[in-house]
Amino acid sequence: MPDLPIILAGVINGLLAGGIYVLVAVGLTLIYGVLHIINFAHGSLLMLAMYAVFFLFKPPVGIDPYLALPIVTGGAFIFGYLVYRWLIGRFNHGRDENILLITLGLSIVIDNAALMFFTGDIQTIDVPYAGRMVELGAAFLPVPKIISFFAALLLCGALGLYMARSDTGKAIRALAKERQGARLVGIDVDKLFAVSYGIGIACLGAAACLLMPTFYVSPTSGHAFVLIAFTTVVLGGMGSFAGAAVGGFIIGITESLGGLLLGEQLGQIGISLIFILILLLRPSGLFGGKG
């Protein structure tokens, strides 16, 4: 058993990682909450956004990942909007596994297209501030992780405010609660579905920008995040914003402490176990309403 300060450091590190998970999960939970679809392509789309950040950073463009945030986020929104309009929206009918299978098909296409065009090599970007650390007790915290943590929370807060206050946000929330009713009061349902999917994917764009300074990307990067994102969302309750936020932190800390106490390999098991246990025991999540 490691000492208390080391555990504390693990908790802090987990919290920092959790900030990004919150952002990724908020996108997933928004899509689920409004569209009632499980977006299995979430990890693959995140991977794609990470490649976008990578190529924007490399010459000849050379944009810092943080400065690229508006570009990649906007691009991801448009991409998500179009994916919904051209693909998911057309086929979003029938059994609920159908859309899961369609988004699985989409993720197979994206993963292998990435493999074909970008090769299987692991890519990283070297930002000058990557190695900078802040000392906090026993914890040495990389500055980019601190930046990404606060940026992720800021963005989630801004999105929450947007959903709460703006007309579009109100319409989307109305849509999530009552589809037919929303249609009756004149809300353009199909357009708002596409916008919601776009916002969900935009969250991934932002997350990619915040991840890349301390992470790597390869065509299989999405796999690592798929289960994390689903676990976060299921933990907090599918469709719940606040749940996704709390879930993200719990998952971040679980992962960090799991690695610390059980070692690099076995430590990853915590996330899958949480996922299984929540589904078996409390499928509505910690904060969900009815089961």
Partner 1 sequence: MSRGTLALCAAGLLAAILYPLVVRGLAGAGVGVSANYLINVGMLVFFVAFIGQSWNIAGGFAGQTSFGHVVFFGTGAYCSTILHVTHGWNPWLAWPVATAAGALVGWAIGALAFRAGLKGSYFALITLAFAEVFRILANSVEFTRGGLGMLIKADQRPENFQFRDPMWIYYLALALCVVSLAIAWQLTRGRFGARLVAIRENEDAARALGIDVYTEKVKVLALSGAMCAAGGTFYAQKYLYIDPSIAFGVDKSVEMLLVSMVGGAGTVFGPLVGSLVLTAINEGTRSLASVVPALKNVQPLSLIVYGAMLILIVARLPDGLMGLFGRRKSGKRHDA
Residue 159 exposure: Cα atoms within 13 Å on the Cβ side: 28
142: β partners: 133
Is residue 94 within the footprint of partner 1 (CB under 8 A)? yes
Closest by CA to 257, choosing from 18, 22, 14, 21, is 14
The smaller minimum CB distance to partner 1, of residues 104 and 174, is found at 104
Is residue 90 within the footprint of partner 1 (CB under 8 A)? yes
Is-contact 14 139, C-beta < 8 A?
Answer: no
The smaller minimum CB distance to partner 1, of residues 68 and 228, is found at 228
Task: Kindly write down the DSSP assignment for every residue of 88-145, as one continuous string.
Answer: IHHH--SSHHHHHHHHHHHHHHHHHHHHHHH-S--B----TTTT-EEEETTEEEEHHH
The site for partner 1, by CB under 8 A, has a size of: 43
Q: Residue 197, Cα to own-chain centre: how many angstroms? A: 13
Closest by CA to 168, choosing from 30, 24, 19, 22, is 30
Contacts (CB under 8 A) with partner 1, residues 197-226: 223
The smaller minimum CB distance to partner 1, of residues 97 and 188, is found at 97
**Residue 231 CB, nearest distance to partner 1 (Å)?**
8
Q: Residue 134 phi/psi, 5° resolution?
A: -120, 135
Is residue 272 within the footprint of partner 1 (CB under 8 A)? yes
Contacts (CB under 8 A) with partner 1, residues 239-268: 263, 265-266, 268
DSSP state of 166: S
**Residue 34 CB, nearest distance to partner 1 (Å)?**
16
Is residue 112 within the footprint of partner 1 (CB under 8 A)? yes
The smaller minimum CB distance to partner 1, of residues 14 and 270, is found at 270
Take residue 219 and report the two structure tokens written for it: 């065509």
Is residue 276 within the footprint of partner 1 (CB under 8 A)? yes
Is residue 189 within the footprint of partner 1 (CB under 8 A)? no
**Residue 266 CB, nearest distance to partner 1 (Å)?**
4
The smaller minimum CB distance to partner 1, of residues 91 and 162, is found at 91
Is residue 147 within the footprint of partner 1 (CB under 8 A)? no
Is residue 279 within the footprint of partner 1 (CB under 8 A)? yes
Closest by CA to 39, choosing from 280, 183, 239, is 239
Part in contact with partner 1 (CB under 8 A); list of ranges 52-60, 86-94, 192-200, 206-214: 86-94
Cα(269)–Cα(191) distance, rounded to whole angstroms?
Answer: 40
Cα(9)–Cα(215) distance, rounded to whole angstroms?
Answer: 19
The smaller minimum CB distance to partner 1, of residues 74 and 105, is found at 105
The smaller minimum CB distance to partner 1, of residues 19 and 259, is found at 259
Is-contact 273 280, C-beta < 8 A?
Answer: no
Cα(10)–Cα(83) distance, rounded to whole angstroms?
Answer: 38
Is residue 82 within the footprint of partner 1 (CB under 8 A)? no
| Residues of this chain that bind partner 1 (CB under 8 A) | 38, 87, 90-91, 93-98, 100-102, 104-109, 111-113, 115-116, 119, 223, 227, 230-231, 234, 263, 265-266, 268-269, 272-273, 275-276, 279-281, 283
